[in-house]
Amino acid sequence: MKTRRCAMLKIFGILAVLALVLGFSLPESALAQAKLKVGIIHIGSMTDGGYNQAHAEGIAVMKKNLPEVEVIEVENVPETADSERVMESMIKQGAKLIVAASFGYLDPALRVAKKYPDVKFVHPAGYKRAPNLTTYWASTPEAFYLMGIAAGKTTKTNKMGFVCALPVSFFLANVNALHLGARSVNPKVETRIVFTGTFLDPGKEATATNALLDQGCDVVGMIVDSPITVVQTAEKRGAYSVGYHYLGVQKFAPKGWISGVAFTWGGLYTRFAKQVMDGTWKSENILGSLASDMITLAPFGAAVPAEAIKMVSDTKKSFLDGKKEVFAGPIKDNKGAERVKAGEHWSMDNLGKMDWLAEGIIGQTK
């Protein structure tokens, strides 16, 4: 018995080593003469209809714009030391630009960046930088405010619901923006928020959406990795939905689709690649906005009234002209405390400190 178990262990060990070797030594010769090799690691699946697909499509656009660039793309990389090994393997294959496309890759990417100073790294939403690591993100509250206008004009019960992974300040800012946008055209709107505690649990997301619909909400928004479950569950029960992350979610809600906030990274990734090729790349913190090409509003669904679409485009113009602020005072939180005084506004640079929900939102942040 004992010897057999030892033999089994050996076999398992050999298999594990084989798997590692096979997994991390991709053929190099095929990629030999590219001008630039870009490596990108994704936390989930590139076709999730959400966060990861948005990044994957960005890379696809870059490749189309710059056919001379080679791409090494790996999905489902956990945010552990594994990600460091994958990044290093990409560098050994000649990658000079690494896109570490998930929040949790920040520390691994910083460690690898220190080891390979001549390789450039870019990281979405990172809060730390290095001489060869740029952080980038696009601020979404303006776009969510616009979605709120459309939703506030579309809702019939005057109740919106929101399924959110965690009460993180940037997410709360988006929920506040959506709610304030809706209230700007429909003061009767109330918003209920449910936190699922995880970015990926479709079963729980469906149950959370149902709970909101049970309370009479007829518009749902979401911040989870894949919007598909929430959008589909709402559609099935005849409710409307506001999408997030990726443009193509509309097919899951032919009737109830309002619109969505989507990230379009193609332009930015093309600029990164060009900068690395001509040597002008530098470490910076890029924060895109509605005015940039990083945020796109999805096409409106059939349910949205024409009047609302006009209001959205007017307000969008005021945002772009700098005539309007999303978080313009006076704003009270849902416990009655004044958070923004009349005549002032909450700056977009300060979103990380937004730990409250606006008046009219039913939910707890901590």
Partner 1 sequence: MIEPILTGLLVGSIHSGTPLLYATLSEVMSERAGIVNLGLEGIMLMGAVVGFATTALTGNAGLGVLAAALAGGLFNLFFGFLVITRRANQLASGLAMMFCGVGLSALLGVSFVGSKIKGLDEIRIPYLSDLPFAGPMFFNYDILVYLAGPIAVLIWWMLFSTRWGLTLRAVGENPSAAFAAGKNPYFVQYQALFIAGMLGGMAGAHLSIALAKTWQEWMTAGRGFIAVALVIFSKWHPLRAVFGSLLFGGAIALQLQMQAWGVPISPFLLDMLPYLLSLGVLAVWGGARRFEAPGSLGRVFQGTE
The residue within the footprint of partner 1, chosen from 119, 212, 258, 326 (CB under 8 A), is 212
Structure tokens at 254: 């032919």
Torsion of CA 298, 299, 303, 308, to 10 degrees: 90
The residue within the footprint of partner 1, chosen from 232, 250, 270, 315 (CB under 8 A), is 232
Nearer to partner 1, 228 or 351 (CB): 228
Structure tokens at 15: 């298999």
Please tell me whether residue 198 binds partner 1 under the rule CB under 8 A.
Answer: yes
Yes or no: say if 360 and 182 are a contact pair by the CB < 8 Å rule: no
Give the DSSP letter string of 99-131.
Answer: EE-SGGGHHHHHHHHHH-TTSEEEEET-S--BT
The residue within the footprint of partner 1, chosen from 85, 111, 129, 204 (CB under 8 A), is 204
CA distance 339 to 346: 9
Yes or no: say if 51 and 230 are a contact pair by the CB < 8 Å rule: no
Nearer to partner 1, 202 or 267 (CB): 202
Q: Residues 89 to 148: which contact partner 1 by CB under 8 A?
A: none
Please tell me whether residue 208 binds partner 1 under the rule CB under 8 A.
Answer: yes
Nearer to partner 1, 5 or 323 (CB): 5
Nearer to partner 1, 76 or 318 (CB): 76
Nearer to partner 1, 186 or 233 (CB): 233
CA distance 273 to 116: 18
CA distance 20 to 321: 54
Please tell me whether residue 76 binds partner 1 under the rule CB under 8 A.
Answer: yes
| Interacting residue ranges for partner 1, rule: CB under 8 A | 1, 4-5, 8, 12, 44-49, 53, 75-76, 161, 167, 192-198, 200-208, 210-212, 214-215, 217, 225-226, 228-229, 232-233, 248, 251-252, 362-364, 366
